[in-house]
Structure 1
Amino acid sequence: MSNKRQHQQRLQGGSFGRGRGVARPGKPPPPRNVGASSQESLSSRFSTQHMPYGGERLTFTDQHLDKRQPTTYDVIEGEGKYVISEEPTGEAVIEYYPDFLKKDEAFNIFNRLSDELPWSQKINKKDDREFEEPRLTVWYGDIKYKYSGVTQEATKVWHPVLDDLRKRITEKSDLTFNSMLGNLYRNGHDGVAWHSDSEYSLGKNPIIASLSFGETRAFQLRKNPMCPEDTYEFTDKKQINLTNGSLLLMRGSVQEDWQHRVPREYHDKNARINLTFRTIYPR
């Protein structure tokens, strides 16, 4: 074979020899045998648009793409009782009292608590790693409290200010509590990550009473996905800006159906104290 013929055969996609199995120019390959259901599936993923200058344009659409918009935070502002969800587990209820304490009294309590309570920074454990909690904590209660690798030892003698606040919450809500976990957020860089207060020692559907002193901080809640295919991106979300002297009650299935956090805020924030009253049961 001459060099000229070899060159022509390479340009045509051929090979040396007699060209067995070579697709010749001008002959399209035979069509594949595609079932009717496959053809319908393919055609449903394309839409035809007739162009003004003639011809058609095919547009690809994927029916499996999630077209929902990510949810944003609904802000709860006024005093009242809010049912934030109803599931087979029951109602999840938030009660908010922004003026539970007068502002001047609340600032005075903040100063006493920040100076007189034995605040400390604990080591938290999560996913086989240890890290310092980005806040200071203190515990008062007849029974020690364990969470995320942290053990808060029992403190049976209550500070008089804490004991008085516990009694005032009981007068407001008819609820009684035997323990209190306090958090001191030193600035906006301190916070607490997504979690729920669902430890075994708290029992089923625990009630948490949260008192705030000092700087206003955002308190955010997000609903747990109800099916394995769902994500937190599309679930309901709430936000309450907890002010100085405010009282927040979490009742019902809040701890089972929702998570909450105090997000870090990377701008100027003064200190905040949060007292979370609860009931602990012996194991």
Structure 2
Amino acid sequence: MLSTQFSSYRIDIVDAELYYVPNWLSQHDCVSSWYQQLADELAWQQDEIKVFGKLHRIPRLQAWYGDAEASYRYSGQSMQPRPWSSSLSRLRHALAHDQLVFNSVLANWYRDGHDKMGWHSDNEPELGRNPTIASISVGSSRTFQLKHRITSKRIDLELEDGSLLIMAGPMQHFWQHALPARKRISQGRINLTFRQVAQL
């Protein structure tokens, strides 16, 4: 269970701890130009994944940052972290102020509504049994979808600029999540998912 400071932000769903804090960035007196800062500062790349033996470019840009030992395997890729950038360090410090401590972050840049993320769970062994993942969104609002693995119950959340979403407890065992395409959206969104990666 997370600190009681988040209790009023908890979303009531089964088999999970899920918290949504709108305007979290402004609560920490952060500047309003985070989207452009991160777009300019991070070393973005468009990775490829293998699906049924064929390589496909993922429909978004990515960057992986963290402590030196925080290597990570994701969708068959082995990712070595770049050293913390100044902006990511500031956000990491703000999370630590709220008793959320992480050693790495996966940044995803959805350049417009055509970029997306398919259904998945963050259940890689390096994240531990019941990982806590803090997801910060900046830029255009996008719909974050959740689907229960057993009941197929669906939930849609609109993640707004400056918001914080926290996934914790057994959530990654029971729920998948996705960010579907929204072709009418022309503006970009950057999402930062802070994680604690263990050495296996």
Moved more, 211-220 or 157-166: 157-166
Which of 136, 141, 148 is equivalent to 2:61?
136
Which of 135, 160, 164 is equivalent to 1:247?
164
Deviation track 1:75-106 (CA, whole Å, cap 9, x = no partner) reads xxxx71124114xxxxx111110110239956
Within 1, Cα distance between the matches of 2:44 and 2:129? 29
Moved more, 159-168 or 214-223: 159-168
One-letter amino acid of the structure 1 residue matched with residue 25 of structure 2: L
Contact residue 107 and residue 214 of structure 1 kept, 8 A: no
Task: Give the root-mean-square deviation of aligned CA atoms.
Answer: 1.7
Deviation track 1:252-276 (CA, whole Å, cap 9, x = no partner) reads 1111100000001121330000000
Count of residue pairs the alignment pairs up: 190
Within 2, Cα distance between the matches of 1:218 and 1:159? 28
Matched-pair identity in %: 39
Within 1, Cα distance between the matches of 2:63 and 2:143? 21
Query: Equivalent residues in 2 for 1:124-163 (5 A)?
Result: 124-141=49-66, 142=68, 143-155=70-82, 157-163=83-89
Moved more, 261-270 or 104-113: 104-113
Structure 2: unaligned runs, 5 residues or longer: 1-7
| Larger Rg belongs to | 1
Contact residue 107 and residue 213 of structure 1 kept, 8 A: no
Is residue 164 of structure 1 aligned with residue 96 of structure 2? no
Within 1, Cα distance between the matches of 2:124 and 2:23? 30
Q: 1:208 to 1:201 in 2, by over 3 A?
A: same
Within 1, Cα distance between the matches of 2:45 and 2:190? 13
Which of 97, 100, 103 is equivalent to 1:175?
100
Determine the structure 2 residue equivalent to 1:196: 121
TM-score, with normalisation over the residues of structure 2? 0.89
Determine the structure 2 residue equivalent to 1:94: 18
Determine the structure 2 residue equivalent to 1:280: 197
One-letter amino acid of the structure 1 residue matched with residue 156 of structure 2: Q
Within 2, Cα distance between the matches of 1:160 and 1:122? 24
Determine the structure 1 residue equivalent to 2:182: 265
Q: 1:217 to 1:176 in 2, by over 3 A?
A: same
Is residue 115 of structure 1 aligned with residue 32 of structure 2? no
Q: 1:270 to 1:107 in 2, by over 3 A?
A: farther
Deviation track 1:101-140 (CA, whole Å, cap 9, x = no partner) reads 2399564111111011100000012333321010000001
One-letter amino acid of the structure 1 residue matched with residue 87 of structure 2: V
Within 2, Cα distance between the matches of 1:151 and 1:132? 16
Within 1, Cα distance between the matches of 2:96 and 2:40? 25
Deviation track 1:140-176 (CA, whole Å, cap 9, x = no partner) reads 1222211112222122x2111111101111212x121
Determine the structure 2 residue equivalent to 1:81: 10
TM-score, with normalisation over the residues of structure 1? 0.64
Contact residue 107 and residue 244 of structure 1 kept, 8 A: no
One-letter amino acid of the structure 2 residue matched with residue 189 of structure 1: H
